[in-house]
Amino acid sequence: MNISPKEFLSSLGADIIFLYPEIFLSLIILLYTILYLFLDRKSPVFEFLFLAITIGFSGYFFSTSMNQVLKTIAAGTFEISPINSFWKALLALTLALGIPLFKAEKSHSNEKYPLQYLFMLTMLLAGFITISARHWLLFFVGLETISICSYLIINFYFTAKAHESALKYILFGILASCLMLWGISYIYGANGHLYILKENNCNTLFCRLGYLFCLSGLLFKVTAFPFHIWFADVLEGASYAVGALLSIFTKIIGFALLYNLLSSFSGVLAQDTRLILAILGIITLVIGNFSAIKEQNTKRFLAYSGIAQTGLLIAFLACSTPSNLGAFIFYLIIYTFSVWGMFYFFQRHENKESTLLSSIGLLLSMVSLAGLPPLAGFLAKIQVLLGIWAYEATPVYVFKTLLVIVLISTLVSFYYYLRLPISYIKNNLSLPSISKENKDFLAPTQNDIYFKLSSLIFILPILLLFLVPNLINDYISQIITTIP
């Protein structure tokens, strides 16, 4: 599988047309950097440019994913496929949805706010590359670029708590990177190359250890046990916008890479990986749910509820097949809108901009995450439960235990997801006093019309997709039919 640099460059030149989205985004980032140097830092141009880029790429990849064919390019280092295009579209959409939260913070009012968008565009480019990577070196560099940008964005808020959170995130991130790099070296030693091949049985001990260490690095990204302990501490010191970004963008990256990696396994390696994911899913579910029940700090509560959601997705990923992949995709789409909405409405409450609409929006977002009707989260959770129920593999008792734990955890989540929004409404929108660290993050009251439009962006999808799920189910079915 080893090729010379000349052969690689020749192959890259022949396939350059397939890399136009990544090349175009690189040029846009360069243009954005030049504008940052010469334009007024408070200019709305940066925000409009960021919105246009993210919406544009999201629309482009959503449309191309429906008629794309599987193709490996650049000497086998880069893969173009409908499912990869979907992951890229979801990443771009995720960043676009974050604009209302970043706009609500004081950092948006000073001259340095465009840097946040620059870091996020760099994360988007790295995400595009990492998702399509079929070579461990490209995979690792893209993932680390995302991590570095995440460290910078957290540390962007110049408060002691933000610095503490950034330091904790960096230290744990370095540990995860070392484990992944260690794993890649084992894989290279066992296989003699760094290509991520399909149908990889990986029969040697070194190869299996290598994949185990690489799996550890991805589990850190999605905050699964035992790499979850940093998440609550980091979210506590971060702003709501950055917390939501870590809860959604990095998790989508992690789950997309876990799926791509798992789909390349076969034989004993695939069975062992699914068993490990099932066990870790059970433990993550238990830790996340029962920690969220007793948590009083809002941001730590959001972190533990996010860990519980990770446990559910990890558990379902362990049971995933081409036939039930649609449920996984549907759940991630609903999760994206629900979590952005939850963080946005919590941000409004902390900013003492509570209204009836914000309380209802918070209730709907959290009810959707709990999996109750009449919201799309109910359909998503039902599909996940049915997928786990239908999955048959050995050892049977592990996967049946997984189903029982998922059911119990779902019931437990009803309590803590409904507790806060209901108490807000009962108390006539009388909310806890704003904490000192959050005062440093929040901006003055936003325009009322802008708030209503932003609220509808988060609320309408989780309502409409319950009533008319075929709005996206037909699209998802089209993607699944292309998976070999």
Distance CA 234, CA 240 (A): 11
Q: Cα angle vertex 66, ends 60, 71, to 5°? A: 90
Closest CA to 145 of 128, 164, 157: 128
DSSP string across 33-89: HHHHHHS-TT-THHHHHHHHHHHHHHHHHHHHTTS---EEETTTTEEE-HHHHHHHH
Q: Is 279 exposed, middle or buried (0-12, 13-18, 19+ CB in 10 A)?
A: middle
Instruction: Give the helix, strand, coil percentages of the chain, each rounded to 5.
Output: 75, 5, 20
Distance CA 74, CA 297 (A): 49
Query: Alpha helices, DSSP H only, in 71-204?
Result: 82-97, 99-103, 113-132, 136-154, 160-191
Strands 78-80 and 71-73, by their bridges, are antiparallel
Q: Is 446 exposed, middle or buried (0-12, 13-18, 19+ CB in 10 A)?
A: middle
Peptide bond into 226 cis (omega under 30): yes
Biggest CA pair distance of the chain: 69
Distance CA 188, CA 211 (A): 11
Q: What is the pLDDT along the chain (484 residues), one digit of tens a residue?
A: 566 666 666 766 777 787 888 889 999 999 988 988 888 777 788 888 988 999 999 888 888 877 777 777 777 778 888 888 899 999 999 999 988 888 877 555 556 678 888 999 999 999 999 998 888 888 999 999 998 888 888 877 667 777 777 788 888 888 888 888 988 888 888 878 788 877 566 777 788 888 888 888 888 888 888 888 888 888 888 888 888 888 899 899 989 888 888 887 777 777 778 888 888 888 888 888 888 888 778 888 888 888 988 988 888 888 877 778 888 889 999 999 999 988 988 887 776 666 777 778 888 888 888 888 888 888 888 888 888 887 776 666 677 787 888 888 888 888 888 877 676 666 544 444 444 444 444 444 445 777 778 888 888 989 998 888 888 888 888 887 777 6
Q: What is the DSSP letter of 97?
A: H
Model-level pTM? 0.88
